Structure 1
Amino acid sequence: MRIAISQLVLPRDKSLDEHLQLAKSAGYEGIELSFRREELNLDMKESELQAIRDKCLEYGVVPCSACGVSAPLTSPNRDEREKGKENVVKLLRCAKALGIDAVLVVPGAVTESVPYDAAYENCLRSLMELAPIAEEIGVAIAVENVWNRFLLSPLEMRRMLDEVDSPYVGAYFDVGNVVIFGYPEQWIRILGPKIKKVHFKDFRRKGFQW
């Protein structure tokens, strides 16, 4: 197990070098790289991504996850889903060049215009289509549980992953996102080896505060 910090929680006005220095000085072994930031984008060349990896390693901080792309796999709009899948594939390829074994994917949301059953079927179909691509690239897709009114129980999350039935599609389990309506230890037991990576944060059930 490697303990890392996500760029998502580091100051937006700091550079990658500054983030790496902060991570190293705080004792973290790795970093989750965000493709929402200027230094990283999905169309970077392999050599550019390898240079990013080398920079991380110079600081003694290992790139261990990647996140930050739009992937509305639940959308009823086929074009939106296709664009989401394209973004996921690009993220997988970037992760491969960075030496990362799994990427974080938020698969969309349930809304008034996106009913739960349709969201589930759209997401399931999209993940099944992405699974062989992830396997070919050698980087796993890890679906995160977030406050998107979707995949609200560990049984449902496990069912979807069972239906996809690929070692390259698993869960990115966020402990803090569960505590307002469930018990993280139950999710961990039920999902078991399907968990690829874990997010910890200081969200508290009492008062629903950070």
Structure 2
Amino acid sequence: MMTRRSFLQNAAALTVMSPVAAHAKGSLSIRMAVEYSMLPENLSIAQRFQLAKDCGYEQIECPTEADQATAEAMKAASEKFGLPIHSVMNMDHWKYPFTSSDPAVVEKSLEGARTSIRNAHLWGASTVLLVPGVVNAQTSYKDAYVRSQAAVRKLIPLAEELNVILALEEVWNKFLLSPLEFAHYIDEYNSRHVRAYFDVGNIVLYGYPQDWIRILGKRIVKLHIKDFTFQRGKGGGDSIARWVSPGDGDIDWIAVHAALEEIGYQGTATLELNSGDADYLKDMRRRFALILSGEMRSKA
């Protein structure tokens, strides 16, 4: 458990740990992936993989699949179309949070996470995306911190055995709200199998993605790409917060590009947007390419 004193002592060190070496400006060496849920549900598994490949995506992120036959079909489609499954999005951590006070709920969540880890091993994915916990009226911040770490630690042995990284994502869960705290939280595991899955869009509600990227640095193992806007009402009325396509929101993509260059990120980034047809998916890939080349500008 992190104390206030240890937090303050480590705050400066955390920023130093983030490499800021200069890189030549240009396109980032990042593989472009698509979220499986972005592909039309009315298509078969094979058709969804083929569509993603035809639209120019290099990899795909798939959800937890408990049915072995379906998991095998996804593996076969990945191999047939040459579209690697790079990550598994764990599906049980919201319904059954690690931070619940009920041991039965936590165990249910752990079982779902173990299924995700085994999926990753079957598919050849390097990471499993996990939401570490939720703070709410029933779960205090302190309890969430302690319970989430206890749960994640139970998964590390299997992750080590199958060589899968537990990639913790920052979401709208009222938990780990500072990049300094998130970095320290990850470091406390002292395991190369626990890293950060950084979502560029999620953080806009209470921070700046370029700031988080620089502080998290090499802790970042995967990225989610989406945009977000605080649309102003007419005559200065209330703002409407909503998700939008990359480039149509408030994110400073030039600053994000610079931050990713500085930390030397060369992994995979996954679009996590609404589903759509081939034309939509190709347009999202075009916008994705502009982000990686440093040419995407926000409309804010």
Please, what TM-score do these two structures have when normalized by structure 2? 0.63
How far off its partner does 1:29 sit?
Answer: 0.4
Structure 2 residue 210 is the aligned partner of structure 1 residue 181: no
Q: CA deviation at 1:113?
A: 0.7
Q: TM-score, normalised by structure 1?
A: 0.89
Report how many aligned residue pairs link the two structures.
203
CA distance in structure 1 between the aligned counterparts of 2:219 and 2:112, rounded to whole angstroms: 23
Following the alignment from structure 2 to structure 1, what is the Cα–Cα distance between the partners of residues 153 and 63? Answer: 25
Is 1:203 the equivalent of 2:203?
A: no
Alignment deviations for residues 140-163 of structure 1 (CA, whole Å, 9 cap, x no partner): 111111111111111121111111
Matches within 5 A, 1:56-135: 56-71=78-93, 72-135=97-160
Residues 83-126 of structure 1: CA deviation (Å, up to 9, x unaligned): 21121112101110100010111233111011111011100111
SS at match of 1:76: coil
Find the counterpart in structure 2 of residue 42 from structure 1. 66
Shift of 1:62: 1.2
* Kept in 1: contact 2:45–2:73 (CA 8 A): no
Larger RCO, structures 1/2 (Cα 8 Å, 6+ apart): 2
Q: Residues 15 and 66 of structure 1: is their aligned pair in 2 closer, same or farther, counting only changes over 3 Å?
A: same
| Percent identity between the two aligned chains | 40
Equivalent residues of 1:131, 1:164 under 8 A apart: no
Q: Which whole-Å CA distance do the structure 1 matches of 2:40 and 2:118 have between them?
A: 26
Q: Are positions 1:17 and 2:50 aligned together?
A: no
TM-superposed CA distance for 1:137, in Å, is: 1.4
Asked if 1:6 is matched to 2:30, the reply is no
Greater radius of gyration (CA) = 2
Q: Would you say 1:193 and 2:193 are equivalent positions? A: no
Q: Show structure 1 runs of 5+ residues with no match.
A: 36-40
**Counterpart AA for 1:208:** A
Task: Tell me if structure 2 keeps the 8 A contact 1:65–1:95.
Answer: yes
Q: Separation in 2 of the partners of 1:79 and 1:68?
A: 18
Distance in 2, Cα, partners of 1:22 & 1:196 = 26
SS in 1 for 2:168: strand
Q: Corresponding residue for 1:38?
A: none
RMSD: 1.8
Q: Which amino acid aligns with 2:76?
A: D
Check 1:97–1:173 CA distance in 2 against 1; reply closer, same or farther (3 A cut).
same
Distance 1:43 1:10, change over 3 A: closer
Distance 2:174 2:207 in 1: 14
Which amino acid in 2 is paired with 1:122? Answer: R
Letter in 1 for 2:62: L
